Structure 1
């Protein structure tokens, strides 16, 4: 049976994992960050965390890309600060340290750490970055795709931090020029050429090397890295992705239901301002026997709806979503329930039906969904959708419905 939950399973498992005790969670973080972790225990009148975070973004420290763990002490301590004081015999007052993956102190101090102090501490400890480790490995194993992807991740993480710092003064929506509407999207602010070269050249070089290879096995990973990145601010990264657009689309055509190529294409498209999805789908042949409820592929479904909604192509949304709903009725589509299914399937279909004037079909769908779904937030979501569509009559009617078992 097909299920959109499979795509989200890692996130669902993380969300369902019970919270660990502070000490166990801290030890796990240390183990994950085996090259080193900066620790700061704050105290009353010594809130060092923000200043240290800013210092670690300095050019002399950002390349290390070591994580920072800040704990609140003083009159209202968090759960971790007493553990750290006991573990390291730290008396009252603020403290900082650089520790290794086993929590052993490499360097520590009790005065406010500045950039020069932190630089000296890193040099004294002899720590090296994950980037340095991976570069050394790749010199001996140049065809190791997983290592190259991991290196790209490290380089992009540093580039993101430097980009965010450089653009911290970017105009906000309150600073829009007169005459622009609140709904108009803010233009992407691009880095200056010298900033782009300094911040992004290494990441662009690695991405270029990866896309020249058989990258499909790490396509999902590359897409995730792009999604969380500030690549849209880098003219050189955007230019590179645009240059490989035809290659990415050919990869999608080779495996229309493969998540790897779609993930990378979708995220690259977003970073490049949006490539035409419908145009691509018109050149993709689904596997013979693919049911209407499986097309477009699940990976591209949200982007398909977004694109069709922008063009007010309500018949297209209705056709695609009704096919999926028919599969739910027939028991061929695993009903995950909850807010995710509302957002991915029911809400777009309801919006399309109302926008096309087929209120009767929308009412029927709503009643069917309420008979299948026990999620308590369903009627409120339907009411809010009707309100957004300027249909107070539907908002009142749908808001009064009760979900199954309630």
Structure 2
């Protein structure tokens, strides 16, 4: 079996979640909008799943949880839906340069529709400065969207501090908590958020399901039109089986979170310290302390991240590369570039994200494999450069 260290990309489904879904894929297949007994059974299961997620987010009203197809749809509904709903008050939105592409794409679309967007910078450790957020606000600012934890580096945003600032100004505050949910305690009241995104497949649940928390009194305009499902916010027949699976996975993940976080942090630190101590030129990307317990992102000087990712994959180790090779040149991810990393030196970053299946033996295997692979790729790079010079 291979070594899977890409849990920030997706997670395997828990057996219990699969079993919880099974009846709603087979005998209890009714449409939750139907008035007959099978439809009522589906509706009951859907509302129980909604209530479970509301409880997980410490939400008082379960109706505040809107089921959608995943994190990307939830981000689009939050950013575009809130911006359009508040357009009479203003058309200025604040976000950051390191957001997920779902948020950045939504913001760029809004820019083509007459909205003004401020993209906040981060420091070299990937941290957002709350004072910078404050200084960016204007009289016509209506929406702030900042992710709770970065998907590439794991760096955590000071959401509660920014939430208080937004509430004082009457500004709608959205946070993408897809990576944070199940890894950090989340209380929407304590965070001061109006809109919050979560996803099923990041917490050992099914793909194709996510949810958006919408604070009571906050208006978001639907981005999908049709029936009146999800309290008129998101049209379309509800995916009852996936909602049930997500609720089950959420419960189990949160129950094990304190113990699992301690275990993963120890394994992550062992991996990170081993790499930084054994490989010259290796560099951590992201703040050491303010980050998720399961994530480390490391650059290797002079090494293309995608080349190292492929080499690891051939050895049975699955990771993610924060770089893409285009026309012979390296273009590092927008997150690392925003942190001041240079492609010609840092070569992108390798994200190691640990999860429930990660073992100490797997970490030791990676630490054994990495140094010779890095040396091999570095040697090949130097040979290629020499050949080009001679040519």
**Higher strand proportion:** 2
Q: Which has the higher helix share?
A: 1
Do Structure 1 and Structure 2 share a fold, with TM-score over 0.5?
no
Q: TM-score under structure 2 normalisation?
A: 0.27
